[in-house]
Structure 1
Amino acid sequence: MPAVRMPDWRSFPARILHVWRASLQFRTVAITVVLSALAVAILGTYMSISIGGNLFDSRLKQVLAESSRATEQAQNVFDSDLATADPSRTDLEYLSASVQSTIRSSTTSPGGLGVAIYRTPGQQTPVTMQPGQSRGFPDYVLSSELQAAVEGNRGAERVWWQSVELNDGRPAIAVGSLLTVPNAGFYELYLVYDLGDAQQTLSFVQQTLLLGGLALVLLIGAVTYIVVRLVVGPVRVAAEVSEKLAAGQLEQRIPEKGEDVIATLARSFNGMADSLQEQITKLGELSRLQQRFVADVSHELRTPLTTIRLAGDVLYDQRETFPAATARTAELLHTQVQRFEILLADLLEVSRFDAGAVELEVEPTNLVRLVEDAADSMRLVASERGSDIRVVAAGGYFDVEVDARRIRRILRNILGNAIEHGEGKPIVVSVDSNEDAVALAVRDHGIGIATDDLTRVFDRFWRADPSRQRTIGGTGLGLAISLEDTSLHRGYLDVWSEPGNGTCFRLTLPRDLERSIRVSPIDLPPAEPTDDLGVNDDWTNKWEA
């Protein structure tokens, strides 16, 4: 049975954040729903508080009116029945029970929980009426503050009330007033009214508001989703068509429907796409014609160039038999024919790059050995300019799948550049590797390149100093071709330079063409060589000079 992979809940916030950033529709609906929920919550809270306050005020007015009538009835009973009689204890207790019964029977307000009559403490009277209360009266809700307020109400007809809570959590109102019993003194009358019915009404209203608010928020979210989908849909289509156009599918267009703003946008976009397609097609055709022209011209020039080169070689070999001026002419002819031949080869190579007709011919190659061979081949030319080439290989002693011919051409180009501009100072070729890449760097200590010119180093036919005479015979295409060769290997070619401190070119290649390069194994510029690398005295003297 295959294992069931549980979802990683920790990745949900990152996914939501990604959707938030990537989806305009989700972001718009989410913001609308959140703001709508906030508005509904504020409005619902206000309505709930307002309705609750109105319900409480209504019940309070009803309770206070009921309590005032009950107090008046009780006082009338005591006054009328004891006005002519000689009260005794039994009569007072009977009268108290009669008063409680009268109050309960005359109460019209729902939620009445009973009546209690208590003697006000601290009195000396001829007779005393025993305190009494109806069955189930919640005497625990009578606070000392309420009792103190009622006790201090002597001589004034006033009803005191207080919000209380029953044992089961229901709200209630406790009302107290003061009665005067002839010959028996002052007694406190308390009534408690249950507000559970009002609380149920408020709970029902709050539940209705909550469900209605949730339904309203969901409805707003659904409407927003539909509206945003109608608006964002064409924008998404336009974005998809734009991506396809950028990928080269120039025939893609946005469907045109209706006559609204979206349709106008579609027509404008399609018109722009038509214009771009026409221009790109013209430019592509012009580029193909230019590439073909360069290739054809370069190819057609090879035959007469071969004839000229053969004739020039004959003249060059017999130059010692010619007069001095003629001999010099033969030498110049030989040099320029060689340069012309190299230029034609470079132009053909550039045309192949432009046409996308270049393929790598990879083979296992030891980069250190390749660098040493290239350095040896250039050492004579370097010595003629007064420079010494030194190879420092800290790593890279393994075979790498590369096109050796192209890597050798890159190395010869940057070595030739170092010799040309090194002003006779030492040149160091460094080789190193790490787990991802292998790299080589060519460092000279010549005139360097101005900072503003570094971005143009790899441009075709660009020279840092056009007035400077070339002695190696460069065509101005070497670095541009080297950059193309590097891109074929999925590597990169960097340059560092400071005026007066020299220049360094660094070539970094992946050890595996299927893997990416995280960091180059050689710094730019690389560290200077030291004595522990075996530098001889002559080299050290040149380096310090």
Structure 2
Amino acid sequence: MTSPRLALPGARSRRLVAGGQRLAHVWRSSLELRTVALTVVLAGVGASIIAASISVSIGANLYDQRRDQVQSESLRATLLAQNIFDSATATEDADQVELDSLQNEAQSAILGSTSSPGGTRIAILRTPGQTTARTIQNIASPDFPASVVTPELREQVASDTGSLALQPVSLTSGSGGTAPGIAVGSTLQVPTAGQYELYLVYDLADAEATLALMQRTLAIGSIALVVLIGVITYAVVRLVVGPVRLAAETSQKIAAGHLEERIPEKGEDVVATLGRSFNGMADAMQRQISQLAELSRLQQRFVSDVSHELRTPLTTIRLAGDVLYDQRGAFTPSAARTTELLHTQVDRFELLLADLLEISRFDAGAVELELERIVLVRLVEDGVAEYEPLALETGSRIDIVAHGGYFETEVDARRLRRIFRNLLGNAIEHGEGRPITIEVDSDPDAVAIAVRDRGVGMTAADAERVFDRFWRADPSRRRTIGGTGLGLAISREDAALHGGRIDVWSRVGEGSRFVVTLPRTVGGALTTHPLPVRPADDPDDVVSGEPWAGTVPDDEDDAHV
């Protein structure tokens, strides 16, 4: 027994596949969805590119502005501190207290001259490698990040006396994160104490916050713009697609037989012009269809009337012909031959008249089934016994393969017998004296008969027309069985009357296979197919999971209808 836990992933995958199929169907069937989605995607890509460009430009300009501000403040602070040291009265004999006082005064002046929102961190460090009589202590702000003063920066500051050295750095914020900053270094000359280095570290968190605010504003604005574009596109598409959808629905109703349906005509724009043109076309089609329907009705009535009217004179001709045919032995050879031809043609005329009457009944919808329960194999055996002498004359051997079918089925025996006789007669006619195979099979829902000859066969184009009325693949071919060209057309109508169908496979030089499939009970749905259309001995047969599935013809000589 399968565990529910193990079966769950399969069920989930099936649901995902079903959901994907539904989504794909909606995508293919909705012009509005495709148009709006494509517009929104393109607008989103465009807005993203524009917002990114603006963000990069604003960020670069904001950084350049703060860098210039920092450079200006750092230069002013350096000059201020240097002036303090230069204006001192310190001499070689000045004591250490005076130098420390100058240092503290310079530090206070520097802090007072800067205006960084995040605060300025300051450090005054002695340049290494000096020997002077006096020194002042290295000082730094409590929050000064010593790690930003790298050896490379100190070397650059010491070598470029009189200029500023700038370096971008990363600072630790109060919340534990990081913030951008700029470290600026310069040199100070302290009398009697030598050269010192001034380092100022500026916090650029305010610039980063401003940039983040601009980016959020751009993102919200871009999203709002894309949504607005989507709404506008949807409104415009609804305005344009609405009449097109109405025209599509109207055309579907007309195709379903509601010929009186029309598109409402409003306005003078191109959509209204389309509606008027469509309605004009629909009016012309309705008139043409009505004329054709009336012509077809008159034609059917003509065939029916003529067929009925011909029965009386044909009966008289038949009686007279039979009298002459019975006395042909007393005639001269030429008169006897004429009498035989007259008898043959009267038989054919009677057959044609009977087929015409049957076709007219089908066209008029006046056909009713006379149902009875029969054993299908018995019907096939009776038909084979009837045609076996003719098959022996042509050299064809008839084999019956009964896979099943010994169960009774409800059919109109006369019509099913007529179907089988037509198929078997055609197989003998076109079998070229080769074996003919008849298969019978059934399942709980359907029964089937297959007639296979190995004669001349048909092309795909011929197989498409094989059930047309009065159509013959080769009209010049000598026939041993008199035919009217209506046999297969009537057979298809008989099968359809039972709720079944007739299918054909054929290949030039290899013969044809006709398969009649009927529901076991008239009125039942034909959901199964006991016999395949393609024969088992077809060299190009492709094995498939469905027994009814046939391979699409791969050349014009292989027909599968």
- For normalisation by structure 2, the TM-score amounts to 0.85
1:28 maps to 2:35: yes
Question: How has the CA–CA distance of structure 1 residues 339 and 63 changed in structure 2, closer, same or farther, with 3 Å as cutoff?
Answer: same
Question: Conserved in 2, the CA contact under 8 Å of 1:496 and 1:503?
Answer: yes
- Residues 437 and 510 in structure 1, CA contact (< 8 A), matched pair in contact too: yes
Instruction: Tell me which residue corresponds to 1:494.
Output: 504
Q: In the alignment, does 2:179 pair up with 1:173?
A: no
* Equivalence for 1:277: 286
> Of 302, 312, 317, which residue of structure 2 is paired with 1:303?
312
Residues 388 and 519 (structure 1), Cα distance of their counterparts in 2 relative to 1, 3 Å cut: closer
**What amino acid maps onto 1:230 in structure 2?**
L
Residue 81 of structure 1 aligns to a residue whose secondary structure is coil
Using the TM superposition, give the Cα deviation of residue 92 of structure 1 relative to its aligned residue in structure 2, in angstroms: 2.4
Distance across 2 between alignment mates of 1:10 and 1:463:
49
Task: Classify 1:518/1:258 alpha carbon distance in 2 versus 1 (closer, same or farther; 3 Å).
Answer: farther
Whole-angstrom CA distance in 2 between matches of 1:66 and 1:246: 84
Q: Which residue of 2 is the match for residue 532 of structure 1?
A: none
Could you tell me how far 1:437 is from its partner in structure 2?
5.6
**Is 2:442–2:448's contact at 8 Å kept on the other side of the alignment?**
yes
1:36 touches 1:217 (CA, 8 Å); kept in 2? yes
C-alpha change, 1:159 and 1:322, in structure 2 (3 Å) is closer
Amino acid at match of 1:222: V
1:523 aligns with 2:523: no
In the alignment, which residue of structure 2 is the partner of 1:137?
A: 144
Residue number in structure 1 paired with 2:391: 382
Taking the TM superposition and a 5 Å limit, the aligned residue runs for 1:460-499 are 460-488=469-497, 489-499=499-509
For 1:225, the equivalent position in structure 2 comes to 234
2:168 matched residue in structure 1 = 162
Shift of 1:8: 4.0
1:159-238 correspondence to structure 2 within 5 Å = 159-167=165-173, 168-238=177-247
Residues in 2 aligned to 1:52 and 1:410: alpha-carbon distance in whole angstroms: 87
1:326: how far off?
5.0
Q: Please point out which of 75, 79, 82 is paired with 1:75.
A: 82
Aligned residue for 2:450, secondary structure, equals strand
Output aligned runs, 1:268-347, within 5 Å: 268-320=277-329, 327-347=336-356
In the TM superposition, residue 143 of structure 1 has moved relative to its aligned partner by: 3.3
Distance 2:319 2:461 in 1: 43
Q: Is contact 1:386-1:424 (8 Å) kept? A: yes
More off after superposition, 239-248 vs 116-125 = 116-125
Partner Cα separation in structure 2 for residue 468 and residue 157 of structure 1: 112
Specify whether residues 359 and 201 from structure 1 end up closer, same or farther in structure 2 by C-alpha distance, changes over 3 A only.
farther
CA RMSD of aligned residues (A): 2.9
Q: 2:59 aligns with which of 32, 44, 52?
A: 52
Deviation at 1:322, TM superposition (A): 5.6
* Structure 2 unaligned regions, length at least 5: 1-10, 540-561
The partner residue of 2:438 within 420, 423, 429 is 429
Preserved CA contact (<8 Å) 1:254 1:270:
yes
Indicate the SS of the match to 2:94: coil
Deviations 1:364-397 (A, max 9, x none): 4433222212111211232344433221223434
Residues 478 and 288 of structure 1: is their aligned pair in 2 closer, same or farther, counting only changes over 3 Å? Answer: same
Q: Paired residue for 2:418?
A: 409
Partner of 1:539: none
Q: Tell me if the contact between 2:156 and 2:165 (Cα under 8 Å) persists in the aligned partners.
A: no
Partners of 2:127 and 2:401 lie apart in 1 by: 112
Aligned to 1:151: 158
Partner in structure 1 of residue 260 of structure 2: 251
Conserved 8 A contact 1:67-1:159: no
Give a deviation string over 1:343-380, Cα, whole Å, max 9, x none: 11111222233334445555544332222121112112
Does the CA-based 8 Å contact 2:116-2:203 persist in structure 1?
no
Using a 3 Å threshold, how does the CA distance of structure 1 residues 117 and 510 change in structure 2: closer, same or farther?
Answer: farther
Name the residue aligned to 2:543: none
Which residue of 1 is the match for residue 556 of structure 2? none
Task: Show CA shifts across 1:149-208 (max 9, x none).
Answer: 22333x333343323232422222221112122222222211111112212211111111
Equivalent pair of 2:157/2:197 in contact (CA under 8 Å): yes
**2:403 paired residue among 389, 394, 398:** 394
Distance 1:396 1:178 in 2: 111
Cα distance in 1, alignment partners of residues 234 and 519 from structure 2: 48
Greater alpha carbon shift after TM alignment, 32-41 vs 333-342:
333-342
Q: Distance in 2 between matches of 1:133 and 1:403?
A: 113
CA separation of 1:451 and 1:492: change in aligned 2, threshold 3 A = closer
Q: Which runs of 5+ in 1 are unaligned?
A: 529-545
Mapped to 2, the partners of 1:356 and 1:147 lie a distance apart of 108
Give distance in 2, aligned partners of 1:148 and 1:434.
98
Return the match for 2:99 from 92, 95, 101. Answer: 92
Structure 1 partner of 2:357: 348
CA contact (8 A) 1:176 1:191 kept: yes
Distance 2:191 2:479 in 1: 135
Shift of 1:316: 4.0
Contact kept, 8 Å, 1:160 with 1:177, in 2: the verdict is no
Q: 306-315 or 108-117: which moved more?
A: 306-315
User: How far did residue 319 of structure 1 move?
Assistant: 4.6
Q: Could you tell me whether the CA contact under 8 Å between 2:459 and 2:507 is conserved in 1?
A: yes
CA contact (8 A) 1:451 1:498 kept: no
The one-letter code matched in structure 1 to 2:317 is I
Which amino acid is the alignment partner of residue 484 of structure 1?
E
Task: Give the Cα–Cα distance (whole angstroms) in 2 for the partners of residues 277 and 431 of structure 1.
Answer: 46
Asked whether the equivalents of residues 432 and 438 of structure 1 are also in contact (C-alpha less than 8 Å), the reply is yes
Please give the per-residue CA displacement for 1:21-40, whole angstroms capped at 9, x wherever unaligned. 11111111111100001111
The AA in structure 1 aligned to 2:430 is H
User: Is the Cα–Cα contact under 8 Å of residues 463 and 504 in structure 2 kept in the other structure?
Assistant: no
Distance 1:386 1:159, change over 3 A: closer
Q: Check conservation: 1:112, 1:191, Cα contact below 8 A.
A: no
Over 3 Å counting, the alpha-carbon distance change for 1:224 and 1:76 in structure 2 is same
Q: 1:520: Cα distance to partner?
A: 4.2
Report the Cα offset of residue 49 of structure 1: 1.0
1:414 CA drift (Å): 1.6
1:42 and 2:46 aligned:
no
Shift in alpha-carbon separation, 1:269–1:312, aligned structure 2, 3 A: same
